[in-house]
Amino acid sequence: MSIPTIIVEQLHKSFGHRQVLDEVNFRVTSGEMVALIGPSGSGKSTLMRHLVGLTCGNRGRGGRVELMGREVQASGRLRRASRGERCRIGYIFQQFNLVGRLSVLSNVLIGRLGSMPRARALLGRFTEQERQRARACLARVGLEEMTNQRANTLSGGQMQRVAIARVLMQDADVILADEPIASLDPRSAREVMEILSRIHAEDGRTVIVTLHQVDVARRYCHRAIALKDGRLYFDGAISELTDARLQSLYENAGLDELRAGEALGAHASPLNRQSDTTQPPTTPVMA
Ligand SMILES: Nc1ncnc2c1ncn2[C@@H]1O[C@H](COP(=O)(O)OP(=O)(O)OP(=O)(O)O)[C@@H](O)[C@H]1O
């Protein structure tokens, strides 16, 4: 039986009078790669922030989020996570969140801070073994030649690859990538998606990635969760996401949002690549 890595139940969130998440329910199984899609303002980033406990759902609505067996929040109250628990979740931001004045290698080593002894972490003393591992993580994202370069001299695509190496260094079981390609040119975007897809396939890590480009979601993810006006509009195998459903999902959005992914160009589809850890759902849920 597949064990859910992420459980979201009855999640509601309002900012003032504006309801941003409305009764959101879904489960993600260990080793899935899921695209979180939906028009701008539909609540994708807000939902991602709830998964890691950066934002809390409304009180008194009974909403609940569980990650790898640990309750992150329930009924609008956050549960405090231990350092070890926090390390198991890696977050990738649209704007990379690197320390610009530090070297590429130091930025990757930061991924280790949460799981090393506190005294050593405070002093930033890394062992040779940890440095070697950081270099190996950089090699996986194709940046082994850039270890000593300052992070603020990198291109956007390279910065995002360093951010992925940092998550690898952290050894996170679950990777939440919030619009990781939104600021990148098509080539860099393709490289970043290829790397995320490879990490998912080779390591069996669970990946949730928010995307504006439906074509990219189709190419790299087996399952899509779509939000529309804060409600779960679709949850199912990406092959079930027909053009008619997409049109209805994006009915008030610009065509650009739908078509932007085409700019990434055609190449071998990871949708055809079978990962034995991936179990897309068979029955889509439609709102
Ligand atoms: N801290 C906040 N305070 C008030 N409103 C907020 C806050 N965070 C998000 N919102 C609002 O919640 C709605 C959903 O925002 P969110 O960023 O989750 O959408 P999104 O689907 O990720 O959009 P985009 O694709 O454009 O990033 C928006 O209307 C946004 O203005």
- Reported ipTM: the value is 0.97
- Between these two residues, 119 and 157, which has the higher pLDDT value? 157
Pocket lining: 40 vs ligand 1, CB cutoff 6 Å: yes
**Does some domain include residue 202?**
yes
CATH number at residue 173: 3.40.50.300
Percent of the chain scoring above 90 in pLDDT:
73
pLDDT of the residue at 258 = 54
Pocket lining: 13 vs ligand 1, CB cutoff 6 Å: no
Pocket lining: 20 vs ligand 1, CB cutoff 6 Å: yes
Cβ neighbour number for residue 117 with a 10 Å cutoff: 8
Q: Which atom of ligand 1 is nearest to the CA of 230?
A: 14
Number of structural domains, the chain? 2
Pocket lining: 46 vs ligand 1, CB cutoff 6 Å: yes
The confidence band for 285, taking pLDDT boundaries of 50, 70 and 90, is low
**Domain check: are 133 and 21 in the same one?**
no
Retrieve residue 16's tokens: 């003032």
Query: Which range marks the domain in which residue 125 is found?
Result: 85-221
Summarize pLDDT for 30-80 with one digit per residue, the tens: 999 999 999 999 999 999 999 988 899 999 888 999 998 889 999 999 888
**Domain check: are 118 and 243 in the same one?**
no
**Domain check: are 42 and 53 in the same one?**
yes
pLDDT at 237 over 80: yes
**Domain check: are 2 and 91 in the same one?**
no
**Domain check: are 90 and 142 in the same one?**
yes
The confidence band for 152, taking pLDDT boundaries of 50, 70 and 90, is very high
**Does some domain include residue 109?**
yes
Q: If you take atom 30 of ligand 1, which residue's CA is the nearest one?
A: 41
Q: Which atom of ligand 1 is nearest to the CA of 212?
A: 25
**Does some domain include residue 164?**
yes
Pocket lining: 42 vs ligand 1, CB cutoff 6 Å: yes
Arithmetic mean of pLDDT over the chain = 87
**Domain check: are 176 and 227 in the same one?**
no
